[in-house]
Structure 1
């Protein structure tokens, strides 16, 4: 059975994820199907815009389907994961750079690969059930699929906070942090999609948009900026330990569960990317440096084992939280030379 329903309705190309039993986790085949649809519709004058949504009550897309990466990686085959990530990142870039309007409707859980699918398009819609996060540091990875691109542009030090703690953003938080644009109650989405398909432009969306709910994260912005202002992981840990606030204690508890190398690399990525020269391709290319190496030299396989395969929640990370070697961070982010991420199909 197909995991995506791709068709045209009115003037819109429709992409619907149809894997609700797996929280619409993004498989390799799904990535390729989405990319093929984008290519087919690019020069099709009958398709004026694209709408991306998902079936099921719980999730737009709760991340990438990483079980196969674990099984191939533990067998010493790193090629499958590298090909998956390379092709997925190319699809992420196409979404961000697409010449026609794209609307994503992100209900429920939107995590990791779901952010890559819905978080880079021109009109990102959330609703009352939306919960958006980048949880990669908890499984020995780093925010990828262009997540570092959004984190580097988030206000203040929210990028560091969201990337390291994987805090779930409600709709108001997501709009404040730059992960979403519009808030519309979910029971209005069916009518909205019909209106968009009829119009072939974003006018119905702008008419339907409602005031965003309050953002708890925005209310904590000043404290987050102070707690996560450190240059490296050790600085952040020291600041959190020296603070007696509830936010600091909760954040520290989370960080002490996550992979130390992943968090140190995440901080370095965000700091390198932040600035006026940032593009989605620059972020994806840096992320791929890590993806290419993470199974062989990082904590990714151990993180998946502990969280998803054995579920003992007791990972044996390569480094202690207070002693991540700077050279290990640098090695993860070194240019890949001939293996550098390209954005053309092989």
Structure 2
């Protein structure tokens, strides 16, 4: 039996045998999530959780560029530009509900994390029970580039990555390859791209554990320009173990590897406020008792971040005008006081 429906055709739902399949369907936007898409996914997951004929849920994205580039920042920006921050926060609240549902879903949830998986894409896939990366996977949380902080449970995942590699990704907005994603705990298994069709077919007949195990392989290392994070951990860990941005930058400046100086320069291009708040968010996330508590913290942070001028400026520079020269306010890390950082965590 096949049952198909769509929310404005931006997300497709299909049931084949015992497999329920969600397909993100905005390939020109790398399947960026709108509020309507999030709502539709939540409704489908609620129904499938109670449907005894469904044993596994699968998430994929149409197109060749990636599973999902994150939330649709132009939609968020439009609401903030209309001075309706509450509507933007409402979108995030509904998005987080879906992410939390996936994190505690009562059935196996398989996410194929091909291509770019960024921001909100991590929210949909990073909490799945079976997280499959492939040849071209590039996972990341690029929020500091537009004046925001890693959310959708990203601070929970990144704060628990080994050897401060999660802190490194969060503050630089760089991406992780398939091998790095598994090393960091953002993914579970590598399946070569030419086996993905077989994986989808197997999921219609086999339990998720068996289907993934039968097709998994050893991921290649150093295949992407982002490099091999595991081998760079020798200088990443001592720098990013510090609890202030200033200390991290100082250690990077004193590190002989040329990549360290390049990393410091990259961090200085990001929103100083967002970077400082992100670092504090990760440190606090480590001490939180559950992923749900982390989502609650992230929603408080994002409510403040969306109202901060750096969000509008970041979207202007990166998405609207695309001049890539944001004018952050304040412009330097020295101007971001501990009291300003602490204010982002208030209700």
In the other structure, the counterpart of 1:110 is 117
Q: Distance in 2 between matches of 1:244 and 1:223?
A: 9
Contact 1:230/1:236, CA 8 A, preserved across alignment: yes
Contact 1:25/1:61, CA 8 A, preserved across alignment: yes
Structure 1 residue 201, shift from structure 2 partner: 3.5
The superposition leaves residues 84-134 of structure 1 with CA deviations (integer Å, 9 ceiling, x where unpaired) of 011001111001010110000011111111111111101000110111111
In the other structure, the counterpart of 2:310 is 299
Q: Distance in 1 between matches of 2:89 and 2:30?
A: 23
Q: Distance in 2 between matches of 1:254 and 1:294?
A: 21
Q: Helix, strand or coil: the match of 1:299?
A: helix
The reply on whether 1:309 has 2:320 as its aligned counterpart is yes
In the other structure, the counterpart of 1:64 is 71
Structure 1 residue 200, shift from structure 2 partner: 4.1
Q: 2:263 aligns with which of 248, 251, 254?
A: 251
The superposition leaves residues 66-85 of structure 1 with CA deviations (integer Å, 9 ceiling, x where unpaired) of 10221221221112211101
In the other structure, the counterpart of 1:73 is 80
Q: Distance in 2 between matches of 1:5 and 1:324?
A: 44
Structure 1 residue 247, shift from structure 2 partner: 1.8
Contact 1:149/1:278, CA 8 A, preserved across alignment: no
Structure 1 residue 286, shift from structure 2 partner: 0.8
| TM-score, with structure 2 as normaliser | 0.93
Structure 1 residue 214, shift from structure 2 partner: 2.6
The reply on whether 1:137 has 2:148 as its aligned counterpart is no
The superposition leaves residues 247-269 of structure 1 with CA deviations (integer Å, 9 ceiling, x where unpaired) of 21111111110001111111111
Structure 1 residue 136, shift from structure 2 partner: 0.4
Q: Distance in 2 between matches of 1:304 and 1:103?
A: 32
Structure 1 residue 298, shift from structure 2 partner: 5.1
Gap regions ≥5 residues in structure 2:
1-7, 223-227
Structure 1 residue 323, shift from structure 2 partner: 2.4
Q: Helix, strand or coil: the match of 2:187?
A: coil
In the other structure, the counterpart of 2:193 is 186
The reply on whether 1:83 has 2:94 as its aligned counterpart is no
Structure 1 residue 311, shift from structure 2 partner: 1.4
Q: Distance in 2 between matches of 1:245 and 1:209?
A: 34
In the other structure, the counterpart of 1:23 is 30
Gap regions ≥5 residues in structure 1:
337-346
| Alpha-carbon distance change, 178 to 290 in structure 1, aligned in 2, over 3 angstroms | same
The reply on whether 1:121 has 2:128 as its aligned counterpart is yes
Q: Helix, strand or coil: the match of 2:333?
A: coil
Q: Helix, strand or coil: the match of 2:14?
A: strand
Contact 2:138/2:177, CA 8 A, preserved across alignment: yes
In the other structure, the counterpart of 2:42 is 35
In the other structure, the counterpart of 1:266 is 278
In the other structure, the counterpart of 2:12 is 5
Contact 2:235/2:255, CA 8 A, preserved across alignment: no
Q: Helix, strand or coil: the match of 1:56?
A: coil
Moved more, 197-206 or 183-192: 197-206
Q: Distance in 1 between matches of 2:285 and 2:77?
A: 29
Q: Helix, strand or coil: the match of 1:164?
A: helix
Q: Distance in 2 between matches of 1:88 and 1:161?
A: 25
Contact 1:163/1:266, CA 8 A, preserved across alignment: yes
Q: Helix, strand or coil: the match of 2:205?
A: helix
In the other structure, the counterpart of 1:236 is 248
Structure 1 residue 316, shift from structure 2 partner: 1.7
Q: Distance in 2 between matches of 1:62 and 1:92?
A: 15
In the other structure, the counterpart of 1:283 is 294
Q: Distance in 1 between matches of 2:141 and 2:76?
A: 19
| TM-score, with structure 1 as normaliser | 0.94
